[in-house]
């Protein structure tokens, strides 16, 4: 028996990627920058934890507002489609024909579908949202879920670069361990992420490590210049 397996958690994976990638790079850059000015790991750790707390809240709020914006946009466009189906039916019929024309179907072939849509305005509007506008109905509670996932991923990512400062008293030694652990965490993150996207695991691991390292290095240089 043929069973198709399609991954449908793309939005959640996207939130994890956003939160984890920032969580791995930003706290590391801050801690690394402070390590040049402070000798005690305890002070660096305190500042780093404060950044993780503030950053997770800010990132979560950003995810919430973005998801809310998507939901409001979808609701607005859906209302417009219902209004056009009711008031501009012939125009909407032409748009249905245009959608199917991209697949090589003629108006005569599509006409039975149009006739069926006349008795199904809800399905007609849903069809136009999907195939004319390319919009999918937002998942209920998506805004809250996005906020929590991004914030949790940010916190989880921030623990990797900060953990050495909790275990080693010398900030300079902790920085060396932090850089190594962050690089490993980025590679592992890329490896796991590839399992959800279906891409090459080694390539994803190397790419994530390189991109994350570049971002962390740029932020580190800026933080070091300021401190």
pLDDT, tens digit, for every residue of 76-103?
999 999 998 888 888 888 888 888 888 8
pTM (2 decimals)? Answer: 0.75
Tell me how many domains the chain contains: 2
Question: CB burial class (10 A; 0-12, 13-18, 19+) of residue 66?
Answer: middle
160-187 pLDDT per residue, tens: 888 888 888 888 888 888 888 888 888 8
Q: Is 136 domain-assigned?
A: no
> Are residues 146 and 45 part of one domain?
yes
Same domain, 163 and 216: yes
- Copy the structure tokens of residue 62: 């950003």
Query: Is residue 204 a part of any domain in this protein?
Result: yes
Q: What is the pLDDT of residues 103-154, one digit of tens each?
A: 888 888 888 988 888 888 898 899 888 988 888 888 878 888 989 999 999 9
Is 5 contained in some domain?
no
Same domain flag for 116 and 41: no
User: Same domain for 146 and 103?
Assistant: no
- Helices and strands (H, E) in the chain, number of each type: 8, 0
DSSP 8-state symbol, 180 = H
CA 7 to CA 51: how far, in whole Å? Answer: 34
Domain boundary among 85, 103, 131: 131
Say if residue 214 is in the same domain as residue 145: yes
Same-domain pairing of 100 and 148:
no
> In which domain, by residue range, is 168 found?
10-68+141-226
Q: Identify the band that residue 189 occupies on the pLDDT scale cut at 50, 70 and 90.
A: confident
Of 111, 131, 151, the residue at which a domain comes to its end is: 131
The sign one gets for the Cα dihedral 123, 124, 126, 131 is positive
User: Percentage of the chain surpassing pLDDT 90?
Assistant: 11
Q: Hey, which residues does 170 pair with through a beta bridge?
A: 40
Question: Tokens representing 199?
Answer: 């891409």
User: Which regions of 25-174 does DSSP assign to beta strands (E)?
Assistant: none
d(CA 146, CA 11): 8
């Amino acid at each position: 028996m043929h069973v198709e397996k399609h991954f449908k958690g793309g939005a959640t994976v996207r939130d994890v990627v956003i939160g984890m990638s920032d969580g791995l790079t930003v706290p590391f850059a801050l801690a690394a920058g402070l390590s040049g000015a402070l000798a005690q790991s305890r002070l660096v750790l305190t500042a780093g934890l404060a950044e993780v707390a503030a950053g997770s809240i800010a990132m979560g709020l950003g995810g919430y507002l973005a998801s809310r914006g998507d939901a409001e946009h979808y609701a607005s466009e859906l209302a417009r489609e219902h209004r056009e189906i009711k008031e501009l039916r012939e125009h909407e019929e032409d748009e249905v024909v245009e959608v199917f024309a991209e697949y090589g179907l003629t108006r005569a072939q599509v006409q039975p579908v149009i006739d069926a849509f006349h008795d199904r305005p809800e399905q007609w509007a849903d069809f136009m949202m999907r195939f004319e506008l390319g919009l999918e109905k937002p998942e209920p509670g998506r805004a809250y879920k996005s906020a929590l996932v991004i914030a949790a991923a940010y916190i989880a990512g921030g623990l990797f670069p900060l953990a050495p400062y909790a275990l080693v008293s010398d900030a300079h030694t902790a920085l060396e361990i932090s850089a190594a652990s962050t690089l490993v965490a980025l590679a592992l993150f890329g490896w796991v992420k590839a399992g959800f996207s279906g891409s090459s695991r080694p390539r994803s691991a190397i790419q994530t490590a390189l991109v994350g390292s570049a971002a962390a290095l740029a932020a580190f240089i800026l933080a070091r210049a300021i401190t």
